Structure 1
Amino acid sequence: MLTFRRSLFAALLLITFVVVLRSSHSIPSSSSPPAPAHRPEDDAHNSNQVTDERSPGQKKNAIQHQRSLNPSPSAPLRERLRYHFPYDLDNKFPAYIWQTWKYTPDSLWFGEELRPAEASWTELHPGFVHQVIPDDTQRSLIKYLYSALPEVFEAYDSMPLPVLKADFFRYLILLARGGIYSDIDTSALKPAADWLPASYDLSTIGFVIGIEADPDRPDWHDWYSRRIQFCQWTIQSKPGHPILRDIVAYITEETLRMKKAKILKVGKMDKTIVEFTGPGAWTDAIFRYFNDPDYFNIGPDSSHNVTYEDFTNQKEWRKVGDVVVLPITSFSPGVMQMGAGDYDDPMAFVKHDFEGTWKTDPSL
Structure 2
Amino acid sequence: MPTFRRAIIAVICLIAFVVFLRHSSRDSDVPGAPGYRPVQGIYEEEQDAYAQSKLQKASGRGQLPLGATPTAPLRERLRYQFPYDMSKGFPSYIWQTWKYDPASEYFGDEFRGTEASWTNLHPGFHHEVVTDDTQRHLILYLYGSVPDVFEAYDSLPLPVMKADFFRYLVLLARGGIYSDIDTLALKPAGYWLPEELDRSTVGFIAGIEADPNRPDWHDWYSRRIQFCQWTIVSKPGHPILRDMVAYVTEETLRMKKAGILRVGSMDKTIMEFTGPGAWTDAIFRYFNNPEYFDIQPGDNNITYEDFTEQTTERKVGDVVILPITSFSPGVGQMGAGEVDDPMAFVKHNFDGSWKTDPSL
Shorter-chain TM-score bucket reads 0.7 to 0.9
Q: Distance in 2 between matches of 1:363 and 1:108?
A: 20
Q: Which residue of 1 aligns with 2:178?
A: 181
Match of 2:244 among 243, 247, 252: 247
Q: Distance in 1 between matches of 2:357 and 2:40?
A: 41
TM-score (norm 2): 0.85
Q: Distance in 2 between matches of 1:195 and 1:215?
A: 24
Match of 1:304 among 300, 304, 329: 300
Match of 1:172 among 123, 144, 169: 169
Does the CA-based 8 Å contact 2:313-2:322 persist in structure 1? yes
Q: Distance in 1 between matches of 2:147 and 2:126?
A: 28
Q: How does 1:1-364 map to 2 (within 5 A)?
A: 57=39, 59-67=41-49, 69=53, 70=64, 71-299=68-296, 301-364=297-360
Q: Distance in 2 between matches of 1:123 and 1:156?
A: 32
Segments ≥4 residues shifted beyond 3 Å: 53-56
Structure 1: which 5+ runs fail to align? Answer: 1-50
TM-score (norm 1): 0.84
Change (3 A) 1:98 1:56: closer
Q: Which residue of 2 aligns with 1:21?
A: none
Q: Distance in 1 between matches of 2:290 and 2:163?
A: 31
Does the CA-based 8 Å contact 2:43-2:84 persist in structure 1? no
Q: Distance in 2 between matches of 1:63 and 1:119?
A: 41
Q: Distance in 1 between matches of 2:298 and 2:72?
A: 31
- 1:131-190 C-alpha deviation (Å, 9 max, x unpaired): 000000000000000000000000000000000000000000000000000000000000
The structure with the larger Rg is 1
Q: Distance in 1 between matches of 2:162 and 2:121?
A: 28
Q: Distance in 2 between matches of 1:297 and 1:199?
A: 25
Q: Distance in 2 between matches of 1:64 and 1:165?
A: 29
Query: Which secondary structure state, in structure 2, belongs to the residue aligned with residue 187 of structure 1?
Result: strand
Does the CA-based 8 Å contact 1:208-1:235 persist in structure 2? yes
Q: Distance in 2 between matches of 1:351 and 1:287?
A: 25
Structure 2: which 5+ runs fail to align? Answer: 1-21, 27-36, 54-63
Q: Which residue of 2 aligns with 1:11?
A: none
Q: Distance in 1 between matches of 2:168 and 2:42?
A: 25
> For the aligned residues, what is the CA RMSD?
1.5
**Residue 229 of structure 1: how far off its partner (Å):** 0.1
Identity level (%): 73
Q: Distance in 2 between matches of 1:303 and 1:198?
A: 30
Aligned length: 312
Equivalent AA in structure 1 for residue 231 of structure 2: T
- 1:202-243 C-alpha deviation (Å, 9 max, x unpaired): 000000100000000000000000000000000000000000
